[in-house]
Structure 1
Amino acid sequence: MKAIYLFGLFFLTTIFGYTQNTISLNECYEGLKTNYPLVKQRAILEQQKEVELSAIRAKTLPQLNLNAQATYQSDVTEVPLPNTGIEPLNNDQYRATLTANQLIFNGGKIKASQGLQNIITDRKQQEVEVNVYQLKQRVNQLYFSILLIDEQRALLNIREQQLNSKLNEVKSGIKNGVLLPTSDKVIEAELLKIFQQNQEATNNRSKLIASISSLIGLPISVETVFQKPLISINASSELNRPELGLYGLQKQEIQQQQNILSKSLVPELNGFATGGYGNPGLNMLENDFTSYYIVGLKLNWNVFDWNGNKKQRQALDYSKELINNQEEVFKLNTNTALNEQLKEIETLESSIEIDEQLIDLQQEVVNTSESQLKNGIITTSEYITELTKLYEAENLFNQHKTQLELAKANYNTLKGDSK
């Protein structure tokens, strides 16, 4: 029986261990990449590509054309020789034909068109990747805002405990006549303010959780613990943004379009076979319904197009230059933003060092004020003022620490190093 109990306890512990209510920044990134509604376009684009490729491949298969016509002519061809026995054609004539055309050679335009369609799909997929990636900074902002609120709530709880403990001492001092009768009311008012701040922080946290949950497509409860990430940056690595991949694919697409244009100057050879039935047939002197066929080869070659093809390829060269310029501007703007982010990181690191010194100094002041309050040298209000200064210094320290991690996360996102 004891073994069953232990097994059951282990089983429940295992279940709750795997369903612990925590989330990390990387899990938010993965949720964004997997669940954001725009991601659904990836599957649609793949399906669209298969249909387009199938349509292109169909051009290599025999093409069948059915034609039928019935006409009435005001005049017909006659043989102007008497006693030949050749009857004149009927004024009403009928013809039905079925023609099969088979592409034999077109200089590789079909294969080039398939290559272009693959590049177009890759480019559209990369556009989806870019649009989703650009939402990462929004995820960073929401995630670290929640962490900041958690730090604030933790400080408020510590301060509340300190004040509750101090309230008992003050009441004892009032009872013994050491402190003024209203000294406890000052602390109670401060506790009420803390309660109010806690309520506001809790409400703001719920709003932020709802926002990040809808963005990454994952259910997140208000009890969820947001893990503090340990973020490192590499200031020497190259840009790894998906936009750079998009620019590359756009240039590949233009290059492939130029390739197709160059192949359009190559002669196109087709084989054909036509079977027909009509009156008259191929023998115009036979005035009767008959069947017939024609087989042969057909060559199409646009020998001279007034340099239209060349000008189209030159226009595509200008499009490629525009993309190169856009890429250059993107790199410049991104590197400028990275430098600004590095400066912000350095400023925050410096501020944190000063914050630590301020906290140590203010803690000494609070310790002194606490001793003075016990001896009735200062009032409760004066003690609360110093304690509030300590809280503000600690809160600012936490803000700067969280802002530092946010700045690092944004730096990695700007560079393309965030996973």
Structure 2
Amino acid sequence: MNTSKNKYGTINSFLLLLFFPFVLIAQQTLTLDECFDRVTKNHPIAEQIELLRTKSNLDLEAINKEKLPQLDLNAQATYQSDVTHLPVALPNITVDYANKDQYKATLDASLPIYNGGLIDAKARLEESNTSVGLQEVEVNLYALKSSINELYLSILLIQENRSLLEAKEKQLQTRLKEVKAGVEYGTLLPTSADALVVELLKIKQNYAELDHSKSSLLKRLSFLIGNEINNNIVLQTPTVKITNNPLSQRPELTLFDLQKNQIEKSIQQLSKSKLPKLNAFVQGGYGNPGLNMLDNTFTTYYYTGLRLNWNVFDWNKNKTERQSLAINKDIIDTQEKTFELNNNLELVQIQSEIDKLNEYLTIDQEIIPIRENMVKSAASQLKNGVITSSAYISEFTDLYEAKSNLNLHRIQLLLQQIKFQITNGTYGTN
């Protein structure tokens, strides 16, 4: 018999180990940091990162190809009202003038020798444009953190309240058993248990309300982070490290710096465009006439040389454009100052909420022990038939509300603390 028991015990242990991973999978957990990480990878906005980088590589490739020889194929057929001819007739000489209908096809090749660094300036501006675009994506993704924070902690509050509701249900069931025992032994009236039964039914309604609210919030959170979340998932309470770093690290501030740098690169490109440009060129052609205007036949020809281009006067167009860009830079400075002002105002408001909630929690922690003592006294009185179950429920409900307020204020404090760090740009940098 002992051998048989050991055999079955081994089999049961093996089955437990076999199905243990599935038990772990069923009890999934989720953290706030995981939500932040997933939204930066799965949100449609995040897809722009790879697209911007690919676009930048293509644009830089196109710009650098301006340094390579350029080939142009040209062809034309013309008819003109007159052609070059001698004003006088030469004795004993017949001149074959060019036809009024003329044809030519050319292949032109040019190679930039000096362009004042304009091509490199274009490349630097393109890199700056890409940096601005990538940072704008970062700003948009960062803005989602506040929404995720509020959703996550709202779900966490529901989760905490459900646990509190379960504890309340167990205590009421214990009281109900005591009251039923009193009714059975004749020490309490038969109706003494009715109020407790009704209160337990209300708890079932509360369960349904909490479960539906949690399901709705989880669906919204799922859409944001791009992952399906099981309704049975357990959210972990975030830990907040309080930092005294007064300097804001918001991605918007980096964006302002990149935008100003972008303007500097644009000004540099405009300055380079004013410099002279020197190209080497060669042209090969086939036409009638060729270079010899007196040869009225189709012939090949070529010529080569250097071409200098310098726009010495443009009615100050280049200067005006650079002045306009400088004003844009000043506008960005004002936008940055406005952002910092509004951000600091929001931080002051959040800090005020944090201070208020800390005071609330201190008072909650003083109220709950008093309420617990009152409920213990009421439970004893109910058991001995001194008070009705309705009177006991009134005291018990006050205790539950006090604990609910403690949960609410604790989660609200956590929400504001994380919101403060998100607003200041320091969350996750400690």
Structures share fold, TM-score greater than 0.5:
yes
Match of 2:52 among 42, 45, 54: 45
Count residues in correspondence. Answer: 419
Counterpart check, 1:311 vs 2:285 = no
Distance 1:4 1:131, change over 3 A: same
- Give the distance between the partners of 1:191 and 1:16, measured in 2 at CA: 30
Q: CA deviation at 1:51?
A: 1.4
After superposing the two structures, state which structure 1 stretch, 72-81 or 363-372, moved more: 72-81
* Residue equivalent to 2:148: 139
On the 8 A contact 2:175/2:379 being kept in 1, the answer is no
Q: Deviations over 1:241-290 (max 9, x none)?
A: 11111111100100000001111111011111011111111111222221
* Residue equivalent to 2:3: none
After superposing the two structures, state which structure 1 stretch, 81-90 or 237-246, moved more: 81-90
After superposing the two structures, state which structure 1 stretch, 88-97 or 245-254, moved more: 88-97
Q: Deviations over 1:134-161 (max 9, x none)?
A: 0101111111111100111111111111
Q: Deviations over 1:292-327 (max 9, x none)?
A: 111011111111223222221111111001101111
Q: CA deviation at 1:344?
A: 1.0
- Give the distance between the partners of 2:101 and 2:331, measured in 1 at CA: 62
* Residue equivalent to 1:238: 247
Q: CA deviation at 1:14?
A: 6.0
Counterpart check, 1:81 vs 2:89 = yes
Q: Deviations over 1:373-394 (max 9, x none)?
A: 1222211111110000000000
- Give the distance between the partners of 1:28 and 1:417, measured in 2 at CA: 17
AA in 1 matched with 2:282: A
Matches within 5 A, 1:137-176: 137-176=146-185
Q: CA deviation at 1:75?
A: 2.7
AA in 1 matched with 2:48: Q
3-state SS of 2:71 partner? strand
On the 8 A contact 2:187/2:385 being kept in 1, the answer is yes
Match of 1:177 among 178, 183, 186: 186
Q: CA deviation at 1:49?
A: 0.8
Q: CA deviation at 1:8?
A: 8.0
Distance 1:71 1:310, change over 3 A: closer
AA in 2 matched with 1:78: H
- Give the distance between the partners of 1:375 and 1:19, measured in 2 at CA: 45
On the 8 A contact 1:281/1:291 being kept in 2, the answer is yes
Structure 1 gaps, min length 5: none
On the 8 A contact 1:232/1:408 being kept in 2, the answer is no
- Give the distance between the partners of 2:15 and 2:384, measured in 1 at CA: 58
User: Identity over aligned residues, as a percent?
Assistant: 45
Counterpart check, 1:293 vs 2:293 = no
Matches within 5 A, 1:6-405: 13=20, 21-79=28-86, 80-82=88-90, 83-405=92-414
- Give the distance between the partners of 2:74 and 2:40, measured in 1 at CA: 54
Q: CA deviation at 1:70?
A: 1.9
3-state SS of 1:134 partner? helix
AA in 1 matched with 2:142: Y
3-state SS of 1:135 partner? helix
- Give the distance between the partners of 2:100 and 2:393, measured in 1 at CA: 116
- Give the distance between the partners of 2:294 and 2:126, measured in 1 at CA: 52
On the 8 A contact 2:71/2:109 being kept in 1, the answer is yes
Distance 1:125 1:16, change over 3 A: farther
Distance 1:6 1:184, change over 3 A: closer
- Give the distance between the partners of 1:160 and 1:384, measured in 2 at CA: 12
Q: CA deviation at 1:90?
A: 2.0
Distance 1:271 1:7, change over 3 A: farther
- Give the distance between the partners of 2:203 and 2:416, measured in 1 at CA: 29
- Give the distance between the partners of 2:60 and 2:26, measured in 1 at CA: 45
3-state SS of 2:165 partner? helix
Q: Deviations over 1:331-356 (max 9, x none)?
A: 11111111211111111111111001
- Give the distance between the partners of 2:81 and 2:317, measured in 1 at CA: 44
On the 8 A contact 1:98/1:275 being kept in 2, the answer is yes
* Residue equivalent to 2:4: none
- Give the distance between the partners of 2:396 and 2:108, measured in 1 at CA: 96
After superposing the two structures, state which structure 1 stretch, 94-103 or 106-115, moved more: 94-103
Q: CA deviation at 1:171?
A: 1.3
AA in 2 matched with 1:360: P
- Give the distance between the partners of 1:374 and 1:73, measured in 2 at CA: 121
On the 8 A contact 2:260/2:332 being kept in 1, the answer is yes
Q: CA deviation at 1:399?
A: 0.5
On the 8 A contact 2:195/2:390 being kept in 1, the answer is yes
On the 8 A contact 1:233/1:411 being kept in 2, the answer is no
AA in 1 matched with 2:148: V
After superposing the two structures, state which structure 1 stretch, 399-408 or 282-291, moved more: 282-291
3-state SS of 1:155 partner? helix
On the 8 A contact 1:95/1:278 being kept in 2, the answer is yes
- Give the distance between the partners of 1:13 and 1:86, measured in 2 at CA: 107
3-state SS of 2:190 partner? coil
Distance 1:304 1:387, change over 3 A: same
- Give the distance between the partners of 2:358 and 2:78, measured in 1 at CA: 92
3-state SS of 2:35 partner? helix
Q: CA deviation at 1:220?
A: 1.4
Q: CA RMSD in A?
A: 1.9
AA in 2 matched with 1:31: R
Distance 1:108 1:12, change over 3 A: farther
Q: CA deviation at 1:397?
A: 0.5
